[in-house]
Amino acid sequence: MEIKQINSAEEYNKAIDRIDQIFNAVSGSEDAEELNMLVPMVNQYESEHFPVEEPDPAEYRKIRQEETLPG
């Protein structure tokens, strides 16, 4: 099991594929240890490359009101 920092979209995609493969790993197994290392690395890559901005409070209220209006 060789784990290294994720530095590219290709490495990110490989890490996602590997997480899919070992997602249900038995606790304490090598796969579970690998999963516990991969997930934070993927989260870090995503936060740097796919940031999610907080919604504008006024816009959020407007959207929520539109969702609850009878249609």
Q: pLDDT tens for residues 10-69?
A: 999 999 999 999 999 999 999 999 999 999 999 999 999 999 888 888 888 888 888 887
Q: Does 49 map to a domain?
A: yes
Model pTM score: 0.72
Q: Does 4 map to a domain?
A: no
Q: Does 20 map to a domain?
A: yes
Q: In which domain, by residue range, is 46 found?
A: 9-68
**What digits encode the pLDDT tens for the residues 10-25?**
999 999 999 999 999 9
Q: What is the DSSP string of 45-69?
A: HHHHHS--PPPPHHHHHHHHHHHHS
> Tokens in use for 1?
């099991």
How far apart, in whole angstroms, are the C-alpha atoms of residue 28 and residue 71? 52
Q: Does 50 map to a domain?
A: yes
DSSP-based three-state secondary structure for 16: helix
Q: Does 2 map to a domain?
A: no
Q: State the total domains in the chain.
A: 1
